[in-house]
Structure 1
Amino acid sequence: MLIGYARVLTDDQNLDLQRDALKGAGCERIFEDTVSGAKADRIGLAALMNVLRAGDTVVIWRLDRLGRSLKNLIQLVERLETVKVGLRSLQENIDTTSSGGRLVFHLFGALAEFERNLIRERTQAGLLAARARGRMGGQPKRLDPTKRALALKLHHERSHTIEEICRMMGISKSTLYNYLDKADSDVIGIA
């Protein structure tokens, strides 16, 4: 039996494209998730794994819809193979029920991992080059040094609540707590 699996990252993304492709491929049932692939507890995937029987084929729209990483994807395919279930990816035209399909699956997976590593290396090189030129990444500070000092002073005087300080400064509690933690670590570093 052909059983489909579809996944999108967030609720505001749409599963229609994947559903249509899976139905067009002949899937009798389709399991779905609307969570990041990094989430270990994907309810739709768990339900899919529970209904699989030997001889079934899991059909996905693209390989990245199933696994959160190359390692995870390979583990899932190996798990499917141990229960004699195949995997078919529509976009990459891979079918692991054949030896050629298994070879292509591993080649695509290796190329995808290689590409991710190249992107990571380029990103790191770019960040190092920017730092060498004095540019730091990340969000700019919400408060200038004067306002930051005032917020810290108000907190240490205990004349205002955290909520009042945040409202006056136009910042969130987490931002204020980050400033407080930074100030505490600077004091500890000096001592």
Structure 2
Amino acid sequence: MKRAAIYLRVSTLDQHPETQLYDLEELARQRQFEIVATYEDRISGAKARRPGLDQMMKDARRHHFDVVVVWACDRLARSVKHFLETLDELTHLNIEFVSFREQLDTAGALGRAVVTIISVVAELERSLIIERVRAGMRRAKLEGTHIGRKPLDIDRQAVLRHRAHGQSLTQIAKTFSIGRATVSRIIKEERQALPLAVGEA
């Protein structure tokens, strides 16, 4: 018997999830699912954070159930993109997805075909995002815009003087509000430059 998780969502506080729950419990009975958890959100689908859904996905990653049952696809996700991402993750976790209204079941042949299409679309979306980021970085580089963290404005000679006076790396780091690794790198680079300077002299 497959372990099922039911997810319910209503858009406003004056709506009741009991109608959804009745249909899904009946569906679970017909499919011989064992309902092991019920998650509920009373919030707009457009809201980014939904405690019930977030907890369900955490439990999914711990493999607490084998199938997720919802009343409708738009009850699960706040957007098409979010739905694709959520279904893609459930698929990779080997968790089936069943929607009552759309009669979508990823365990069936049609459902598996839908999952394949969704996986392709999700991968395409990820590729497009990566390409947009890379294109933005290339454009910024051509325009002379610095990418990444702003370089630290450090008085390297002052760091070396403090070191020459016997201060530890930790003391110097605190004085200049930088990391010990940065202090160590400055000192190392200075030592490597000394032989070159002597040779040139």
TM-score (norm 2): 0.51
Matches within 5 A, 1:17-166: 27-29=35-37, 45-48=61-64, 56-58=66-68, 61=76, 62=83, 64-65=85-86, 75-77=92-94, 86-88=96-98, 95-144=105-154, 147-155=155-163, 157=164, 159-166=166-173
Measure the CA separation in 1 of the matches of 2:97 and 2:161.
61
CA RMSD of aligned residues (A): 4.6
User: How many residue pairs were aligned?
Assistant: 148
Structure 1 letter corresponding to 2:111:
G
Measure the CA separation in 1 of the matches of 2:59 and 2:141.
42
Matches within 5 A, 1:180-191: 183=189, 187=193
Please list the CA deviations of residues 107-153 of structure 1 after superposition, one character each: whole Å capped at 9, or x if unmatched: 11111111111111111111112112222211112324xx2332244
Contact 2:162–2:172 (8 Å) recurs in 1: yes
Larger Rg: 2
Structure 2 letter corresponding to 1:172:
G
The share of aligned pairs that are identical, in percent, is 23
Measure the CA separation in 1 of the matches of 2:191 and 2:105.
55
For 1:28, what is the secondary structure of its paired residue? strand
Please list the CA deviations of residues 14-46 of structure 1 after superposition, one character each: whole Å capped at 9, or x if unmatched: xxxxxx9xx9565423799x8xx9xxxx89634
Of the three residues 176, 179, 185, the one matched with 2:183 is 176
Contact 1:4–1:30 (8 Å) recurs in 2: yes
Q: Structure 2 regions of 5+ residues with no counterpart? A: 8-16, 26-34, 40-51, 71-75, 77-82
Q: Structure 1 regions of 5+ residues with no counterpart? A: 7-19, 81-85
Contact 1:127–1:137 (8 Å) recurs in 2: yes
